[in-house]
Amino acid sequence: MPSRGGLIGRRARGLAGLAATLAATFLGLLFVTFVIGRVIPIDPVLAIVGERATAEQYAAARHALGLDRSLLVQFGLYLRDVLSGDLGTSTLTAHPVLEDIGRVFPATLELATIATLVGVLLGVPMGVSAAVRQGRLADQAIRLVGLFGYSMPVFWLGLMGLLLFYGDLGWVGGPGRLDTSFQFVFDLDVPRITGAILIDTALAGAWDVFRNALTHIVLPAGVLGYYSLAYVSRMTRSFMLEQLHQEYVTTARVKGMPEWRVVWVHALGNVLVPLITVIALSYAQLLEGSVLTETVFAWPGLGLYITNALFSGDLSAVMGGTIVVGAAFILLNLLSDLLYRLVDPRAR
């Protein structure tokens, strides 16, 4: 048993190592996006000056972009720009890319967060119940629900959902984040604080806009949440089955602990260790911009932004979006690493 001081020193070293790893990963990410930017068959100069530019105009634009210098210098300049927060200007929207992303990313973040909450709050209890009733009807039913979520393409589920709940039943709002009428109210009266529509409208007390936004987000969040639930419940079930066969579970029973405590405190405490990574990865995947879902639901998020940028040769926007997605991955990894230390004393 190490002494307290030694433990703190070890922990500090561990965190310093983690920070170094993160910095290196981020640098690698920037390098990869830079290389991608140079190798994809899009000519950024052409995208700006157009096809009818003269050779002089072309050369001048090329020089202005710094593309006539050596790759190493270009990478250095790119690093300097990115680190100072300059991701370039989008040729499509004519806004700085960072500003664009600041506008679209919260929409994706809001969607992914609600979907992950749905996936975890329903998926974990479902997975645990299935494991406890292994092989019985409840287990089969839960596994079937999961399997369905696994195998249905997200765009099909989204379209069918729109058809049924919006088209036929009219229970939910249609594509987009708001009805057009509410969009005006939102644009004029609601200050953008977080960019998340539900939070901003609630903060402003604009409850009618809030309710309308809610009817719009329910379906895409539900579809993505179902997808996340399928994955989380399945992994929870298998982790739980593994833990229920461990000897410490028998120990808890020998101590006369009620079965709910054996499962939900003793076993689940150990299930959380691998589950945190699973949840973080699933969250990161949703953040990456569920391109298909955002397209089906006309959701103005990061996925839709990157896709549009890609189709119109807007290189700065593509690279900026990629960096944000990559940075989100890195941050979530860091978060899951920290949580991991919190729930597993052996990792400290």
Residue closer to another protein by CB (options 145, 272) is 272
**Binding status of residue 247 toward another protein by CB under 8 A:** yes
DSSP secondary structure string for all residues of 213-235: HHHHHHHHHHHHHHHHHHHHHHH
Interface with another protein (CB under 8 A), residue from 8, 17, 246, 298: 246
CA–CA separation, 270 vs 267, rounded Å? 5
Residue closer to another protein by CB (options 68, 259) is 259
Binding mask 271-300 vs another protein (x if CB under 8 A, - otherwise)?
-xx---------------------------
Report residue 309 as tokens: 């940028």
Applying CB under 8 A, which part among 13-21, 247-255, 308-316, 325-333 lies near another protein? 247-255
Name which of 86, 85, 48, 90 is nearest 67 in CA terms.
Answer: 48
The most distant pair of C-alpha atoms in the chain lies apart, rounded to whole Å, by: 85
Least distance from C-beta 1 to another protein, angstroms?
5
Write down the residue that tokens 């708001």 correspond to.
Answer: 178
Least distance from C-beta 141 to another protein, angstroms?
19
Residues 6 or more apart in contact with residue 227 via CB below 8 angstroms: 115, 119, 149, 154, 157
Q: CA–CA distance from 262 to each of 232, 248, 256 (Å)? A: 21, 9, 9
Residue closer to another protein by CB (options 64, 265) is 265
Binding mask 38-77 vs another protein (x if CB under 8 A, - otherwise)?
----------------------------------------
- Is residue 112 within 8 Å of residue 224, measured between CB atoms? yes
Report residue 159 as tokens: 């379209």
Q: How many angstroms from the chain centroid is the CA of residue 137?
A: 34
Name which of 232, 323, 321, 243 is nearest 281 in CA terms.
Answer: 232
**Binding status of residue 270 toward another protein by CB under 8 A:** yes
Least distance from C-beta 257 to another protein, angstroms?
7
Residue closer to another protein by CB (options 244, 284) is 244
Least distance from C-beta 345 to another protein, angstroms?
4
CA–CA separation, 93 vs 88, rounded Å? 12
Least distance from C-beta 126 to another protein, angstroms?
21
Least distance from C-beta 343 to another protein, angstroms?
6
Name which of 1, 244, 16 is nearest 133 in CA terms.
Answer: 244
Contacting another protein within 248-267 (CB under 8 A): 248, 250-259, 261, 266
Interface with another protein (CB under 8 A), residue from 42, 46, 310, 343: 343
Residues in touch with another protein (CB under 8 A): 1-2, 246-248, 250-259, 261, 266, 269-270, 272-273, 343-346
